[in-house]
Amino acid sequence: MRFQHHQAALDTRANVAWMEVHTENYMGGGSPIRYLEAIRRDIPISLHGVGLSLGSAEGLDQAHLDRIRQLAEHIEPDLMSEHIAWSVSGGTYLADLLPLPMTEEALAVVCRHVDQVQSTLRRKILVENPSTYMQFRHSTIPEWEFMAAVVARTGCGILCDVNNIYVSAKNHGWDPLAYLAVLPPDAIGEIHLAGHSARQLADGATLRIDDHGSRVIGEVWLLYEAALRRFGPVPTLIEWDQNVPPLDVLIDEARHADALIDVASDGVGRADAA
């Protein structure tokens, strides 16, 4: 949910199963947090963080973790999630989900930080697989095994971003179905879907860019169906952060996901739009 949807969300709350917001947008006082409190009275909330930087070599920003803890204690979200990425270095926040080398060192750093976050919040968090545009030469662990290892070592869950799997698989020549096959089904607590764009690079390569600015494409819907077959019905969210359309377009996308969940299961899972 974005700020321009606050009032619409309050008006139509009966039709929405749950809502996800960016944790970092609700760290101050005033009207944003008042809206979230009001929506929270009727609808479960998922807090989705983008700034904790689980992969920072220099450790977590304790002040930021404290703000997240205070918000969580206040809002009591049903789900909390973050990313397998980094965004803070040398005390500077770089405002992007930057790629980690897939190494034992990075795995140890991420696991140490997930442990720290879960013990601070006294709850399980979900970690989301990233979309990436480059790979490091010294990476030794396939990303899907990295994800599974974080779950095995910390007991956290996974926010499986199906569009991110598709984007990274296209960018790096991976098999997206093989990726899904390694993720532990019991750990999947949420699925993300989104639109993406394609960009031609100077050397002729085409890169898929995860920009959350359009409808979900057909191939990603197919991968989503495969994910549902493997994981069962899982709460699903359509992300849309650029060129945000009216709420009814988002709800239309969510209905499509709902229909697929119904086909793949007994209809227990429910989809939503952010």
Partner 1 sequence: MGSVVPMLLEIQTAMRCDILGNGDETVVATLSDTLAPVDRLSIYRNTSRTALTSALRLNFPAVQRLVGEDFFTTAADTFITREPPQTAWLDPYGEGFPEFLQGFEPVAALIYLPDVARLERAVGRALHASDAKSLEYSQLLDIEPSDQGRVCFTPHPSVSLVSSPYPVDAIWRAVLGQNDEALAAIKLSSGAVRLLVERRAGEIEVSRLDERRWKFAEALFAGHSLSTALTVADNPDAAVWLAAHLAAGHLSGFSLSTTESLVVTEHAQ
Length reported for the chain: 274
Least distance in Å: CB of 83 to partner 1?
12
Q: What is the DSSP secondary structure assignment for residue 127, as one 8-state letter? A: E
Q: Say whether residue 173 binds partner 1 (CB under 8 A).
A: no
CB contact at 8 A, 107 and 149: yes
Least distance in Å: CB of 100 to partner 1?
7
- Interface with partner 1 (CB under 8 A), residue total 54
C-alpha pair distances (Å), 242 with each of 197, 253, 274: 11, 15, 12
In the list 136, 175, 185, 219, the residue contacting partner 1 (rule: CB under 8 A) is 136
- How does strand 236-239 pair with strand 188-194? parallel
Q: Say whether residue 29 binds partner 1 (CB under 8 A).
A: yes
In the list 17, 94, 178, 182, the residue contacting partner 1 (rule: CB under 8 A) is 94
Least distance in Å: CB of 127 to partner 1?
16
In the list 24, 78, 115, 252, the residue contacting partner 1 (rule: CB under 8 A) is 24
Q: Say whether residue 274 binds partner 1 (CB under 8 A).
A: no
Query: Token match 């983008």: residue?
Result: 50
Q: Say whether residue 31 binds partner 1 (CB under 8 A).
A: yes
Applying CB under 8 A, the span of 103-111, 119-127, 212-220, 257-265 interacting with partner 1 comes to: 103-111
Q: What is the DSSP secondary structure assignment for residue 243, as one 8-state letter? A: S
In the list 17, 57, 178, 263, the residue contacting partner 1 (rule: CB under 8 A) is 57
Q: Say whether residue 90 binds partner 1 (CB under 8 A).
A: yes
Q: Say whether residue 134 binds partner 1 (CB under 8 A).
A: yes
Could you tell me the two tokens for 174?
A: 């991976």
Q: Say whether residue 12 binds partner 1 (CB under 8 A).
A: no
CA distance 244 to 99: 26
Helix (H, G, I), strand (E, B) or coil at 94: strand
The dihedral through the CA atoms of 118, 71, 13, 213 has a sign that is negative
CA angle at 131 for the pair 125 and 134, rounded to the nearest 5°: 130
Q: Say whether residue 30 binds partner 1 (CB under 8 A).
A: yes
Query: Hey, which residues does 197 pair with through a beta bridge?
Result: 209
Q: What is the DSSP track for 71-100?
A: HHHHH--SEEEEESSEEEETTEEEEEEEPP
Q: Say whether residue 174 binds partner 1 (CB under 8 A).
A: no
Least distance in Å: CB of 29 to partner 1?
4
Q: Say whether residue 41 binds partner 1 (CB under 8 A).
A: no
- Residues at the contact surface with partner 1, assessed by CB under 8 A: 24, 27-31, 33-34, 50-53, 55-58, 61, 63-64, 67, 86-96, 98-101, 103, 105-106, 109, 133-139, 199, 201-205, 207, 209
